[in-house]
């Protein structure tokens, strides 16, 4: 059983479109994240939710909107996609106020043409 | 705010050679330190972590790291690498009390050649 699963794994779309990436974890964790990994492999935190409440919101364009319907799910919706949004987006989860050990999904590679 | 510097972007080594991947951090408070590994086309997985106690930490796959507070370093080592260790390695830090915010270094690509 996959602990943190993301869909889709690959997404190719045109500039200006709107797309969503879904994430689900079956670890019973209460905190979930979205990280963006650029073409140089740099990982940057975007958002974090704890029990459906937003606790971290880094400097991210408001075209990105996370949604957490319950503590096991964290989705990422992106409006008006731009070329610079091309990246691998990783979902991760942990227990809040844990020591920082994150469990990552396998990533969703977004390509904007 | 904390930050992490990985001094080498790429490290090529031969199989069965020792390797050291360097990591320095900066923070105004006490920290937790981590090394994660990313194999091609996969997510990250935890190699090892330093929370407190002994400064020498052992992880999976024969890796170990030493926390040096005076030098603000957390270098990763393995005495003998295998081809299968080829991957991207990330050092990360979180402030004590803010374990939910993990900051990553830019990664070191380890390539093990036969």
Domain boundaries, chain A: 4-112
**Three-state DSSP class for B113?**
strand
**CATH of residue B61:** 2.60.40.10
Query: Could you tell me the two tokens for B28?
Result: 């105004």
Nearest-CA distance B114 → chain A (Å): 25
Residue B41 domain boundaries = 3-113
* Strand, helix or coil for residue A111: strand
In total, chain B counts a number of residues equal to: 114
Over 70: is that where the pLDDT of B98 sits?
Answer: no
As a CATH number, domain A4-112 is 2.60.40.10
> What gap in Å lies between CA A9 and CA A29, rounded to an integer?
22
Instruction: Identify the residue with better confidence: B76 or A98.
Output: B76
Q: What is the pLDDT of residues B28-58, one digit of tens each?
A: 777 889 999 999 888 999 999 998 889 999 9
Q: Do A55 and B100 lie within an 8 Å CB cutoff? A: yes
Nearest to B86 by CA among B6, B17, B23, B24: B17
* pLDDT tens readout for residues A62-74: 999 999 999 899 9
Look at residue A97 and tell me whether its pLDDT is greater than 70.
Answer: no
What pLDDT sits at residue A51?
84
Average pLDDT over residues B61-88: 96
Q: How far apart are CA B11 and CA A72, in angstroms?
A: 38
B43 touches chain A (CB under 8 A): yes
More confidently predicted of A33 and B101: A33
Contact A89/A110 with Cβ under 8 angstroms?
yes
Q: How many domains does chain B have?
A: 1
């Amino acid at each position: 059983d996959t602990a943190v699963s993301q869909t889709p794994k690959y997404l190719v779309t045109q500039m200006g479109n709107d797309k969503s990436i879904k994430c689900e974890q079956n670890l019973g964790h209460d905190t979930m994240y979205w990280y963006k990994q650029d073409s140089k492999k740099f990982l940057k935190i975007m958002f974090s939710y704890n029990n459906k409440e937003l606790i971290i919101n880094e400097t991210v364009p408001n075209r990105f909107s996370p949604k957490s319907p319950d503590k096991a799910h964290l989705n990422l919706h992106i409006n008006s996609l731009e070329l610079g949004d091309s990246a691998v987006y990783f979902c991760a989860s942990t227990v809040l106020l844990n020591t920082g050990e994150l469990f990552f999904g396998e990533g969703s590679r977004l390509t904007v043409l | 705010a904390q930050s992490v510097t990985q001094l080498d972007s790429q490290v090529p080594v031969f199989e069965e050679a020792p390797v050291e991947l360097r990591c320095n951090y900066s923070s105004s408070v006490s920290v937790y330190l981590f090394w994660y590994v990313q194999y091609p086309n996969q997510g990250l997985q935890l190699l090892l972590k330093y929370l407190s106690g002994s400064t020498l930490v052992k992880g999976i796959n024969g890796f170990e790291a030493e926390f040096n507070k005076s030098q603000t370093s957390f270098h990763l080592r393995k005495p003998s690498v295998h081809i299968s260790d080829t991957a991207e390695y990330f050092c990360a830090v979180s402030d004590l009390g803010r374990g939910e915010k993990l900051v990553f270094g830019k990664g070191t690509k380890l390539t093990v050649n036969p």
